[in-house]
Structure formats: C-alpha cells, structure tokens
Structure 1
Amino acid sequence: GDCQIWSMTGFSSQTHLIRRTNFIAHKRYGLKCLFSPDMTLLATTSADGTAKIWRTSDFACQYELKHDKLQNWVWDCAFTSDSVFLITVCSDGKARLWSTETGNVAKEYIGHQKPVTCLAFDDRTFR
C-alpha cells in the first residue's frame, strides 16, 4: 500500500529521479496510481476494496471510495478528460463513476459476470 511520488529531471541527457514524497495509501496491495489530467488529483486503487483520491498539493486523502464488499479488489481507474469524474472497476464485475468533487457514485455500470480488471473509454460519449 505504499505510494511514492518522484520527479524526473534531465530529460535530454542524464535522467535523475528525486523523491518528492512517500505515504501509506492503502492497507493492502496498491494496484494502480494515476494523476488526473489537470494534475490536481492522484487516484490509487487497491486490494483493500477501496480507491482513494488524493490532492496533489499536499497528498492528503480527499476521498476514500468504498466499494460494496471490501474483499473486492479495485483493479483499475481512469479520470475523465476534465478531471470531474473517476471511473473504477472492481472484482465484483461493476464499473463505478465517482464525482471527484463529492466522492459519491454518480453512476454504476453492471453487466459483467466476472471481475473487471482493466478499462479504457472515450469520455465524449461516456456519461
């Protein structure tokens, strides 16, 4: 569940990594981390049945997004291009659209009989 944030310098010649911060993001395995398109948020997913949205200004947890059963792994996530929503997919076969402004589920997508482990979407037609 550790999350480490690094900065890269020296893109044209020798690349150097500088650690910006390190924090415990989840109680179990961390599965995915992703910056929002506007770079103000970081999303993490985990084997602990949650996804979390963090503010990049101070890496404080803004929302813990709890799924139906905490034993379900939250495998993947993606932000909409305007950073207003985050979609997560889970071992329960559902995809959930979360508001990054409230932390509430805006919509739930069902239909898979097995775990959903990855996602891709075009948010021009998504909502």
Structure 2
Amino acid sequence: MSEYDIAPPPTRLSNSVQLRFAFSKDTGTVTKFMVQLEYWLDGDWQTVVRYDHDRDAEGGHDVTEEGLHRDLYREGVKYRVEEVTGPISANKGFELAEEDLKENVQEYIRRFERWLGVKDRSNL
C-alpha cells in the first residue's frame, strides 16, 4: 500500500465497521488517496470497499485519466471493479468516494455479510 502524508485514525461507525482515509496533498490539491470501508471479522479488519488514486504507484490508478472506480472485496480478495465516473479531479474523486461509502454503508455491509454468511454483526 502507498505511503500517505495524512492518515487519521479510522472513523468507527460501529464496533465492527469503520471508514479508513489516507491522502496526500500538494498546495491544496489531492495527489493520492485511499478511502476504504472495513469490517471486523476473525480478529482483523477486512476490506469491504476501496477507492484509490495514486498515479505513481506500480499498478496504481489515476482518476484524472481513468475516472473513479470502486473495488469490491470478498473473502479478502478484490472481487469486482465498478466504474463510477469518467475522468475527474482527484479532489472531486476523494469527495465522491467518501460520500458514497457514508451514504451506502448499510448496503455494502449487508452484501458483505451475506457473501460471508455472517448474520448482522455490524449493528448499523
């Protein structure tokens, strides 16, 4: 995973669900970011959904050229990639990623629990 200049502690939404943010900026412009929804399962935080932008990383994504996409995870592995927008600024991509995860957290968590056969441990 990339190194970021700003990586505040995760925002806990319940005992078993949190949002993790990390980003770097240069003169007010986001240069790279990661926004991730996580679920506590089997003693570790599991990735549920991830957005990212890092044009310089090996295999990285550049939202200004490729558009914003959403990575869905299942059993610890990237399961599917969903295109969200066409090319946009990194600042706007970061904002949209955060909004999407906050607005759709219940949908993403319910699907994740269904995939893993977990019965409503999220308490959302």
Q: TM-score w.r.t. structure 1 length?
A: 0.38
Structure 1 or 2: more strand by fraction: 1
| Greater Rg by CA | 1
Which structure has the higher relative contact order (CA within 8 Å, separation 6+)? 2
Structure 1 or 2: more helix by fraction: 2
